[in-house]
């Protein structure tokens, strides 16, 4: 066979294998036996080995598993993957329905879908070919798991049409696959996975794609990331388009005209839930019309047009063996119940937070009690109540200590608080937890410095405060357990890179009481440099929106401490940036920019800015970004390869800018530096 004949046969095999794979993995209706499919796949593999030039990224052979990865690279989502707000009862759903009615009127419908208990992912296609897949991550930045996602056979490598789009879905492990995997782990003497969700997440984060391939994962696609170029007008139309393109969607979805129909749908699936071949933990309810979704908008964390109804938590009885105490980074003493291991909602639970002494007294909890345990929201274990009637008289009353279990300093209860607190700034537990917070994603975001490594460094007395992180050497780190040369070099590079973070990252990382990530950014934008913030008075702080008495007092008190002054001097001497380097807000008298009060659409690929940065800059100058072009659109900013949005803007004679005009405006208004 020459290469021309081989090329024709390879194309034929692609078509056949894609057709048979779609029938088997998406339609669940195979037309040929497995043995014939395997024979065709083997033929393709042999041809690709004989003629390597014929092997393409969309070949069915590429699902077997590629090369082993060193690490997952970061991926910025073109549009944020927001999490959903939760509803736990009928009252929550009716309240959601009331808010939707209030915002959009009476003429709308809902789409109800099963909430698959898996891992949210995004898939990006260019001209119909699967290019990249990523985890949800923090909603803005995920991890590139393309090689692992290719092993899921229900994900098409080539679509039925040569379209470019990004879609979202839930990757999951079917119950049969989960049972088979845990049986194999048990036979090998390995710790089994707690539930299918953990198994799916663990499989997709394997550095060796062959492991993911062996786990038999599946996926349901539930949304198009940006429907602007598709002409889709509703969520249900979007799901139908996904079907047409060759994606696997969940056919159990239902369009509901009223909240009563939604409640009936939920009730029905609560009964049928155990009989599904996969795990679900609730129902997702979405407003169907995309224009109405846009009208409802989003909060910082979740859309106002969708909600997830969580099934009632399973409750079980177990014995409370003991109560353990831990000290957090703010000195708060938290009691934790140690339980006889018990299965709750698919996972083995051994611990449950008791929050504080008042809760222990309120629920009359004693060591040795039989207690009812559930998972709040199917996630966090909690003690619901005590079965007093089962007491034998041997139960032991629990009393909180008067001194810190870590440093033996006297514990105090601050006015207006229920928690006991250690206020010793040298308490080792607080220092350790503070270090873990400092390196976390929303703070300095130092890759490779997880809780295990921080604990090792602390125990080895290599670090005592956050300034010590910037003094670590290769010779010190290479001595730690499970730290090879490559890991050490990567960690040192990550520590060095963190020095360039903008002020708000450092401010949040310092762990000032009441100052969260959002407040840290607001404060950093206002004062612009750590020096100015350290000299700020309470009155200056209170003049800033979102800052109240408690936060202002906490900030002033924090910077009055001599230890803090010394710490900041050490950090600055190590080269840690003390200035705000993000986009600056424009003074109110200057919000007469070309964006102020206008509805603006971004389309196409921007070369000089990310889509998120452009959106943030425009909003700071008073503009409102929307996803689709209509008669209400005032301005369209078109990058490279702008598609139907640009065409529609031209038809409606809407003002159009290119990226250079955008950059010029941002620089003129001081949002970007020249």
- Write out the catalytic residue numbers: 115
Instruction: Evaluate whether 371 touches 461 at the Cβ level (below 8 Å).
Output: no
Token look-up 């300034």 returns 467
Instruction: Evaluate whether 431 touches 464 at the Cβ level (below 8 Å).
Output: yes
Write phi, then psi, for 169 (nearest 5 degrees): -155, 180
- Token digits of residue 435: 């270090």
338: which strand partners?
Answer: 322, 351
Strand 655-658 and strand 635-638: pairing? parallel
* Strands of the sheet with 165-172, listed across from one edge: 129-135, 119-126, 165-172, 218-224
Instruction: Evaluate whether 571 touches 467 at the Cβ level (below 8 Å).
Output: yes
Query: Please, what is the end-to-end C-alpha distance for the chain in angstroms?
Result: 61
Give 164-189 as a DSSP string: -EEEEEEEE--HHHHHHHHHHHHHTT
Integer CA distances (angstroms), 559 to 149, 439, 531, 538, 564, in order: 48, 21, 10, 12, 6
Token look-up 């908008």 returns 297
Residues 456-475: b if buried by 16+ CB within 10 A, e if exposed: bbbeeebbebbbbbbebeee
User: Could you tell me which of 627, 629, 649, 668 has the C-alpha nearest to residue 657?
Assistant: 649
Write phi, then psi, for 629 (nearest 5 degrees): -90, 130
Write phi, then psi, for 592 (nearest 5 degrees): -120, 30
d(CA 559, CA 523): 14
User: Could you tell me which of 260, 302, 308 has the C-alpha nearest to residue 281?
Assistant: 308
Strand intervals (E) in 583-661: 599-603, 624-626, 635-638, 655-658
d(CA 151, CA 149): 5
SS3 of residue 70 by DSSP: coil
**Is residue 257 packed enough to be buried (19+ CB in 10 Å), middle (13-18) or exposed (0-12)?**
exposed
Instruction: Evaluate whether 515 touches 548 at the Cβ level (below 8 Å).
Output: no
């Amino acid at each position: 066979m020459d290469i021309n004949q081989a090329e024709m046969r390879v194309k034929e095999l692609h078509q056949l294998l894609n057709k048979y794979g779609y029938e088997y993995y998406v339609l669940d209706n195979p037309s040929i036996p497995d043995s014939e499919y395997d024979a065709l796949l083997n033929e393709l593999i042999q041809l690709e080995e004989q003629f390597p030039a014929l092997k393409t990224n969309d070949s069915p052979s590429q699902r077997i598993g590629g090369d082993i990865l060193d690490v997952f690279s970061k991926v910025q989502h073109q549009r944020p993957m927001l999490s959903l707000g939760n509803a736990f009862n009928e009252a929550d759903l009716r309240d959601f329905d009331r808010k939707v009615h209030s915002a959009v009127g009476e003429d709308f419908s809902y789409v109800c879908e099963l909430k698959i208990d898996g891992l949210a992912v995004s898939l990006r296609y260019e001209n119909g070919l699967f290019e990249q897949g990523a985890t949800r991550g923090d909603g803005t930045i995920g991890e590139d798991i393309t090689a692992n996602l290719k092993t899921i056979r229900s994900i098409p490598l080539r679509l039925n049409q040569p379209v470019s789009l990004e879609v979202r879905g839930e990757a999951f492990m079917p119950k049969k696959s989960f049972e088979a995997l845990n049986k194999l782990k048990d036979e090998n003497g390995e710790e089994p996975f707690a539930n299918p969700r953990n198994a799916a997440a663990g499989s997709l984060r394997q550095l060796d794609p062959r492991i993911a391939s062996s786990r038999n994962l599946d996926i349901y696609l539930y949304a198009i990331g940006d429907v602007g170029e598709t002409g889709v007008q509703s969520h249900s139309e979007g799901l139908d388009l996904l079907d047409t393109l060759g994606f696997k969607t969940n056919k159990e979805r239902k369009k509901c005209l009223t909240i009563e129909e939604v409640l009936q749908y939920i009730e029905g699936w609560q009964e049928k839930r155990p009989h599904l071949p996969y795990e679900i933990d609730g129902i997702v309810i979405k407003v169907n019309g995309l224009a109405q979704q846009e009208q409802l908008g989003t909060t910082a964390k979740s859309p106002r047009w969708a909600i997830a109804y969580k099934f009632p938590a399973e409750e079980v009885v177990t014995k409370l063996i003991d109560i353990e105490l831990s000290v957090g980074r703010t000195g708060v003493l938290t009691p934790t119940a140690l339980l006889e291991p018990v299965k709750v909602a698919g996972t083995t639970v051994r611990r449950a937070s008791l929050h504080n002494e008042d809760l222990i007294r309120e629920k009359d909890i004693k060591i040795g009690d039989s207690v009812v345990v559930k998972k709040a929201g199917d996630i966090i274990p909690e003690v619901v109540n005590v079965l007093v009637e089962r007491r034998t008289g041997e139960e032991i009353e629990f009393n909180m200590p008067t001194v810190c279990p870590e440093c033996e300093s006297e514990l105090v209860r601050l006015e207006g608080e229920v928690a006991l607190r250690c206020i010793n700034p040298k308490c080792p537990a607080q220092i350790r937890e503070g270090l873990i917070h400092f390196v976390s994603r929303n703070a300095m975001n130092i890759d490779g410095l997880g809780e295990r490594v921080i604990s090792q460094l602390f125990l080895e007395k290599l670090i005592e405060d956050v300034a010590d992180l910037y003094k670590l050497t290769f010779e010190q780190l290479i001595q730690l357990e499970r730290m090879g040369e490559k890991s050490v070099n990567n960690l040192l590079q990550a520590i060095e890179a963190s020095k360039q973070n903008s002020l708000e990252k450092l401010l949040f990382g310092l762990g000032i009481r009441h100052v969260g990530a959002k407040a840290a950014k607001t404060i950093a934008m206002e004062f612009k440099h750590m020096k100015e913030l350290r000299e700020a008075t309470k009155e200056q702080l209170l003049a800033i929106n979102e800052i109240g008495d408690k936060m202002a007092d906490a900030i002033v008190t924090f910077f009055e401490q001599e230890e803090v002054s010394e710490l900041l001097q050490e950090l600055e001497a190590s080269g840690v940036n003390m200035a705000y380097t993000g986009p600056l807000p424009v003074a109110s008298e200057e919000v007469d920019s070309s964006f102020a009060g206008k509805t603006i659409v971004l389309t196409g690929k921007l070369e000089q800015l990310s889509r998120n940065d452009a959106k943030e800059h425009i909003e700071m100058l008073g503009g409102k970004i929307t996803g689709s072009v209509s008669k209400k659109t005032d301005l369209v900013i078109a990058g490279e390869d702008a598609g139907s949005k640009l065409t529609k803007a031209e038809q409606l004679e809407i003002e159009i800018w290119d990226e250079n005009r955008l950059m010029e405006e941002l620089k003129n208004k001081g949002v970007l530096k020249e």
